[in-house]
Chains A and B, each alone.
Chain A
Amino acid sequence: MTMTETTLTVNGQTRTLDVEPRRLLADVIRQEFDIAGVHIGCAHGACGCCTVHIDGTPRLSCLTFAVQCDGRDIKTVESLGGFDATHVLQLAFKSEHGLQCGYCTPGFLMTLVPYVEENVARGTLPSDEDIREAMSGNICRCTGYHGIVAAVRKAIGDQIGGGQ
């Protein structure tokens, strides 16, 4: 089997690795970069836990081979607000009870941060239905989703000045 030389930048750290093509981006980030915020729930695209940003766009890292990401810029949940979790959406998850066990949380955050940013840029507060559509690729077994919807609403509302 051929190893393929692949250069990845994860949260600003650039490394060139010889990787087996079959290794998933999620596994390489966890094992080679030692970044544990990428969670693997289902490994077939149903749960959204492994969502990362590739060149700024959310993508499931369990459905992506590391070799496909040669030269790409990858961001994980650690890039948002660090270990203090100070990103506006992380703070809203905390205050609105958007998490309990936390396993799905990195995926929700990475899916929803661009969505929050787009709505803030447009100055629009989306409907709950729209928020639920935006997070429909992520599964949470603890919260029943209400707290997550409230957190998204708060993160957008606080930034566009309308409150909720």
Chain B
Amino acid sequence: MFLEAVVFSVLLLCVIFITRLYVVVKTGSKHKPGAKGPVAVLVVAGSGGHTTEILRLLESLSAAYTPRHYVIADTDRMSEEKIYAFESSKGQSQSQSQSQSQSQFTICRIPRSREVHQSWSSSVVSTLKALQHSLPLVFTLRPDMVLCNGPGTCVPLCAAGLLLGILGIKRVLIVYVESICRVHSLSLTGRILYPLSDYFFVQWSSLRDRYPKSIFLGRIV
């Protein structure tokens, strides 16, 4: 009797969880955080090319996208320097009355989830480790959107963002931009986040043809 109750509760929780996930994913386009004021952005910077691309995107966003919380891999010095350089140039280009926005960014470090040469099985372990760091980070920052473009670190951070929505704490929009180096096939991160993201951008028409939910605006970086 007790066992049946436990099994039933677990099943019920699973059903509720999946239903909530479905509702959260399906209703993303109706959620307009920008109408209420500034949009807090969690920016997942990868390394090298990923960081360069995402900074190009951020450059075009208006001051409404504030504050910006950058997440970088703890081994990645170069991205950190690029972010500081980018933020200081952004601060200078704004008018002096807005100079307080210079400090409206933070940099958070989490363990890298997948090095280029890492095997698949150890990727799983380190992704779980990254999730352990992502949950407290996203639950504390509670951003309006997660902006990411491909590094493996995206997945646990987006999962944490979705969980906030599933629990009804905060609807976190997931904006994914597939790297321009993906011409014919999605990256592993892209394939995972394609069904889960609210806005999924691709930069080559061949990908738009294969993935009908994706948004193609030509090259955007």
The reply to whether chain A is a binding partner of chain B is: no
> Hey, which bits of chain B sit against chain A, CB under 8 A?
none
A-side residues, CB < 8 A to B, are: none
